[in-house]
Structure 1
Amino acid sequence: MTLPPYVIKIMETLNSHNKEAYAVGGCVRDLLLEQPPTDFDVATSALPREIMAIFPKTVPTGIKHGTVTVFMDGVPVEVSTFKGLDIGQGSLSEDLRHRDFTINAIAIDAARVIYDPFGGREDLREKIIRSPLNQSRERFQEDPLRMLRAIRFAVCLGFTLHPSVTEAMAECYPSISQVSIERIREELNKILVSDRPSLGIRLLLEHNLLEYIIPEAMPMVGFDQYNKNHDKDVFQHALAVLDGVPPRLNVRWAAFLHDIGKPATFTRDEKGVGHFYGHHLKGQEITRQILERLRYDHKTIEDITTLVGAHMTRFARFRNANLKKLVSQVGEHNLQDLYDLQKADILGSAPPFDFTSLEEMQAEIEQILREKHPLTIEDLAVNGYDLMEIGIEPGPGMGKLLNQLLEIVLEEPQKNNRGTLLELSKKLSQQMQ
């Protein structure tokens, strides 16, 4: 097990001031699993003010909780005082006892001596997630996010939840509502881009967390589609599609939520066959609601809702101009995600799997891109400054006018020249007055 020189230097510096110091937590777990740690944490008997006095370059990032960021050889390392009832009254054993899981409650010193008082290495070998002394209830009460972390570790590491963990979840799951939405979102992100995202969603459902985090998903569970094209209920289909797309966050979210509008749009015809007219539009609406509550950034929300709204486009019979409108609306940067989503949607439905319409649509789009057709307002031969020169004032009206010009150019690309578009702008502007 190899610790980076800058981490050893921090520990040895603390030792030289008669302070205990150990690498702890996820970095030790990853090293034991022979995986590269993303970062390193050090626990010490030194108080925050002592840490800041010992090292020349520090930032008091979490000083209220006993954490100082130390910069060693230009690398930031979080150095924290042992956790106890009060800062400065803890010990290594007490600190490790309060860690979330045994696999994260292992320490190593500068001489590479391992401290493992709660059997973390054995749990790594046995692939078990449990808390030190099986005190999961206490750990979840301290921080309910640990329930999500348990599921995330189980999914990402391929481990099993110990009965003491699942029993504690059965009692503590309502407290997940106390956790900040940003922290929940980060755990969801890690679950969704894992190798087994559907397992993560199933575990969230099984342990009553899904209904608190994404209540809008619950109507999908067990919802029979009454359609020969589907051999799974809406939820099981969504999970199959989720597993079928690449591990990119946007397309993973779109895969899970692409049919979330189905329960709200369900009808059955006289033969008893189920239909979901407009479910992609309802799904867009619900998806936006979910992502806004989870406080994703605007671009992420727009891209994911666009994918949900466009996932049925392979069934359309597009004229060339309408196909260009589709590319314009979806955005070239979203096309690969859309193709991957539609392919997984087919594979997640009942066989036989027919990719003909998808392949035809993709081929036509690729040809449009190769021929470099104008597809966005940025591709127009005029811009806002050109329109201002002919007396059109900036504002919503100008934006509407540029969109009208784009509609014309999508139909008739030969009109994408400055003179023609300025003449059209004058006429359209007069009509709008």
Structure 2
Amino acid sequence: MILDREKIKPEIFKISSKLAEAGYKSYLVGGAVRDIIFGNVPNDYDILTDARCSEIARIFKSVVPYGMKHGTVLVVIGREPYDVTSYNDGEPAPLSLENDLAIRDFTINAMACDLNGLEVIDLFGGLEDYAKKRIKCVVSAEARFVKDPLRILRAVRQAAKFGFAIEERTLESAKNLSHLITAAAPERIMNELVKLLGSPQNGKYLKCLLSINAWHEIFYKYYQNVIFPGGEKNFFTLNGECYKIFDENSAKRYGFKLALLIIFSLYRAAGDKIRFYEYKKLVKALFELKFSKNDFDEISALVFLAYYHLSEKGRGEGWHGDIIKVKEAMISHRELTKQKIDAREVFLLCSLFGRSTGDSALEAGFAAAVKTAEKAVTERHPVYIEDLDINGDDIKSAFGMQAGNRIGEALKYARSQAVIDPSCNNKEALKNKIAQFLKKS
């Protein structure tokens, strides 16, 4: 198979030519070769050569020797850096192209290309596995996963990314060795989870992660002492409808989908009540997995607000289509979490939860709340203090007031009136409303 030259950046050929002039071989390897075979233009390029790092640094004018210990030099062409790796340097050095490819993760990532003739070098069946749409480890799945347990998550994530299946022996080894996953750095685990949740058909592959116990292993330490009803200990038990919901909502951002996963995972029926077991522990796990503070705060708030609405205290009936009550709920979200959370996402979480449990009334009620909130947003209804056409300075100027609680009270009153009647959201009308409020109080 010959690769399409048009899909390879000209700078790659410049690097190859320079190495050839100095008497060295060079190959395009790994994900770049895979991407071109798949019909895509690579985002990243890795070049493998028999030149030692010191020779690479001598040949090129601009280099960054950041990875010489591992046999890699960053060659800068124009302003773009490119990884050039020596198979004769590093700890330990592979010493040949074949040895380098033999220690890569999956066969579709273990192909190379001679940059002269652009012919694919496939020593481990990557082209066959591409044709059969499967993810298969190179040589030994056990050896690959023991070397880097994160490859277990990556196998599922790459299967999700490309719509492939995982080869039977690879899947079996992943399940047998899933207990090793937590040896990987937390931020690497987080990165794989985020990428998986961003993949199409992620419901199908979430099911795969559950089937090999990967989720259980990642979060086990947080839940090892939690006993669910009936003595059940495995907290990730999703039903078939949950996976369908994930597939149908695959375009949603990963923070929403992670909140959805938490809600689905921790629900257990407790008589006629809805109960979520120890959800704060799972939210805490996100923090320890090095999710950013913004992500952590947002996902925590989404889960908390959905839990609030689904509990007896916040559930209620008959308000979902009432735009004033929905706007009041939006205000309560801000007051409860001190964050700017999209109420449409909160209500959608609740609606999808209703669907997952077969509660059609709950599903329909919160679906109506989503539509009502959408109407408020698209029609630009004033909901929050910052939406008002008046601010604290306007009130001080109009009524001769000093900074203090009274201004805050006046703004809240103005907001309550604008929530009821959006047409009054102009300075003069709001000043009149505030004047009446101050006179009465």
TM-score (norm. length: structure 2): 0.76
Q: Which residue of 2 aligns with 1:230?
A: none
1:317 equivalent to 2:318? Answer yes
Q: Which residue of 2 aligns with 1:211?
A: 216
In 1, Cα distance between equivalents of 2:88 and 2:402: 68
SS at 2:177 equivalent: helix
SS at 2:75 equivalent: strand
1:188 equivalent to 2:193? Answer yes
What is the CA distance between 1:53 and its match in structure 2? Answer: 3.2
- CA distance 1:320–1:304, shift in 2 (3 Å): same
In 1, Cα distance between equivalents of 2:53 and 2:291: 34
- CA distance 1:408–1:212, shift in 2 (3 Å): farther
Q: Which residue of 2 aligns with 1:294?
A: 289
Name which of 249, 252, 267 aligns with 1:245: 249
Deviations 1:113-134 (A, max 9, x none): 2222222212222333333322
Name which of 352, 355, 373 aligns with 1:365: 373
In 2, Cα distance between equivalents of 1:370 and 1:322: 17
Deviations 1:20-54 (A, max 9, x none): 21111111112112233332211222333433333
Name which of 106, 119, 122 aligns with 1:113: 119
Letter in 2 for 1:317: G
What is the CA distance between 1:108 and its match in structure 2? Answer: 0.4
What is the CA distance between 1:141 and its match in structure 2? Answer: 2.4
Q: Which residue of 2 aligns with 1:128?
A: 134
Deviations 1:253-276 (A, max 9, x none): 12222234423xx422xxxxx421
Give the share of equivalent positions with the same residue, in percent. Answer: 26
Letter in 2 for 1:105: A
Deviations 1:149-170 (A, max 9, x none): 1122223223333344234334
Q: Which residue of 2 aligns with 1:98?
A: 103
User: May I ask how many residue pairs the two structures share in their alignment?
Assistant: 408
Q: Which residue of 2 aligns with 1:7?
A: 12
Q: Which residue of 2 aligns with 1:227?
A: none
Letter in 2 for 1:128: R
In 1, Cα distance between equivalents of 2:410 and 2:208: 50
SS at 1:131 equivalent: coil
Kindly indicate whether the alpha-carbon contact (under 8 Å) linking 1:68 and 1:80 is maintained by their aligned counterparts in 2.
Answer: yes
Alignment of 1:366-405 (within 5 A): 366-381=374-389, 391-392=402-403
Letter in 2 for 1:241: I
1:162 equivalent to 2:162? Answer no
Structure 2 unaligned residues grouped into runs of 5+: 231-236
Alignment of 1:255-270 (within 5 A): 255-263=260-268, 266-268=269-271
Name which of 234, 243, 259 aligns with 1:254: 259
- CA distance 1:337–1:56, shift in 2 (3 Å): farther
What is the CA distance between 1:364 and its match in structure 2? Answer: 3.0
Kindly indicate whether the alpha-carbon contact (under 8 Å) linking 2:157 and 2:196 is maintained by their aligned counterparts in 1.
Answer: yes
In 2, Cα distance between equivalents of 1:245 and 1:223: 30
Q: Which residue of 2 aligns with 1:228?
A: none
- CA distance 1:159–1:370, shift in 2 (3 Å): closer
In 2, Cα distance between equivalents of 1:47 and 1:422: 77
- CA distance 1:377–1:33, shift in 2 (3 Å): same
In 2, Cα distance between equivalents of 1:17 and 1:118: 30
Structure 1 unaligned residues grouped into runs of 5+: 225-232, 269-273
SS at 2:290 equivalent: coil
Name which of 298, 305, 311 aligns with 1:303: 298
Deviations 1:268-301 (A, max 9, x none): 2xxxxx4215x4xx67635532322222223323
SS at 1:276 equivalent: strand
In 1, Cα distance between equivalents of 2:359 and 2:411: 45
- CA distance 1:82–1:222, shift in 2 (3 Å): farther
Q: Which residue of 1 aligns with 2:234?
A: none
Kindly indicate whether the alpha-carbon contact (under 8 Å) linking 1:401 and 1:425 is maintained by their aligned counterparts in 2.
Answer: yes
Q: Which residue of 1 aligns with 2:51?
A: 46
In 1, Cα distance between equivalents of 2:136 and 2:19: 31
Q: Which residue of 2 aligns with 1:285?
A: 280
Kindly indicate whether the alpha-carbon contact (under 8 Å) linking 1:82 and 1:92 is maintained by their aligned counterparts in 2.
Answer: yes
- CA distance 1:89–1:243, shift in 2 (3 Å): closer
Letter in 2 for 1:297: S
- CA distance 1:296–1:361, shift in 2 (3 Å): same
What is the CA distance between 1:339 and its match in structure 2? Answer: 6.0
In 2, Cα distance between equivalents of 1:155 and 1:66: 31
- CA distance 1:284–1:177, shift in 2 (3 Å): closer
Kindly indicate whether the alpha-carbon contact (under 8 Å) linking 1:303 and 1:334 is maintained by their aligned counterparts in 2.
Answer: no
Q: Which residue of 1 aligns with 2:233?
A: none
Kindly indicate whether the alpha-carbon contact (under 8 Å) linking 1:21 and 1:42 is maintained by their aligned counterparts in 2.
Answer: yes
Q: Which residue of 1 aligns with 2:342?
A: 334
SS at 1:77 equivalent: strand
In 2, Cα distance between equivalents of 1:404 and 1:365: 21
In 1, Cα distance between equivalents of 2:242 and 2:267: 11
Kindly indicate whether the alpha-carbon contact (under 8 Å) linking 1:128 and 1:162 is maintained by their aligned counterparts in 2.
Answer: yes
Kindly indicate whether the alpha-carbon contact (under 8 Å) linking 2:52 and 2:88 is maintained by their aligned counterparts in 1.
Answer: no
